[in-house]
Amino acid sequence: MHLQEKTVDTEPIFDGKIIKVRKDKAELENGSVVTRELVIHPGGVCVVPVNEKGEVYLVKQFRYPFQEVLTEIPAGKLEVGEDHRSAGLRELKEEVGAECESFEYLGVMYPSVAYLTEKIHMYLATGLSFGEQSLDEDEFLDVEKMPLSQAVEMVISGEIKDGKTQTALLLAARKLGI
């Protein structure tokens, strides 16, 4: 049982619209029992849309927990059981108004491994064509485009603070040789 923990008890704490909170008891490899607090999340998807000029489309939106407007790539929450590829294509269309010829999987990231079960699947979208945005009723954002190399510099300088955006932009830039 080296480096493993065995769940011995689970107590539901909160059952919300997006998240659930649970308190578990876990047995460590030395036999000790500890408390683990978990936030259960259905997961998410994010997309790095890059045009033929090497420009990336980013969204700016207010993020309530931080009380500030953040620069991010298009992204969204998965519905329970939803396919992340389909969700990514949906978010690209909803937030940026784009469809793509190529939709390449970049991998998965775990945004906060100590207490959050969320997994975010990352994609690179190229061969873009544009139509109308179709934002959710409660979604307000601005779209901007810039060279992907500039967005990478914003990650490095700390201007882009969102973890999924940082990771996906760096992966996309590496994949595209930028």
- The full set of domains in the chain, from first to last, is 6-40 (no CATH), 44-175 (3.90.79.10)
CA 80, CA 87: separation in Å to the nearest integer? 11
Per-residue confidence band for 155, with pLDDT thresholds at 50, 70 and 90:
very high
- Per-residue pLDDT, averaged over 36-63, amounts to 98
Look up 137 and say whether it is catalytic: yes
Rounded to an integer, the average pLDDT of 22-35 is: 97
Averaged pLDDT, 151-165: 98
Do 74 and 87 touch, CB atoms closer than 8 A? no
- Residue 17, pLDDT score: 94
Q: How confident is the model at residue 14 (pLDDT cuts 50, 70, 90)?
A: very high
**In terms of residues, how long is the chain?**
178
List pLDDT tens digits, range 122-135.
999 999 999 999 88
Active site residue: 79, 137, 139, 144, which one? Answer: 137
Q: Which pairs from 83-91 meet CB under 8 Å and 24+ separation?
A: 84/43, 84/45, 84/121, 85/121, 85/123, 87/45, 88/45, 88/46, 88/47, 88/121, 88/123, 88/125, 91/45, 91/46, 91/47
Q: Kindly report, residue by residue over 59-104, the tens digit of the pLDDT.
A: 999 999 999 999 999 999 998 889 999 999 999 999 999 999 999 9
Q: Distance between CA 10 and CA 57 in Å, rounded?
A: 42
Biggest distance spanned by C-alpha atoms of the chain:
59
Residue 1 has pLDDT above 70, yes or no: no
Residue 11 has pLDDT above 70, yes or no: yes
Average pLDDT over residues 7-27: 97
CA atoms 76, 80, 82, 83: torsion sign: positive
Share of the chain above pLDDT 70, in %: 99
Query: Rounded mean pLDDT of 99-112?
Result: 98
Please tell me the distance from the alpha carbon of residue 91 to that of residue 85, in angstroms, as a whole number: 10
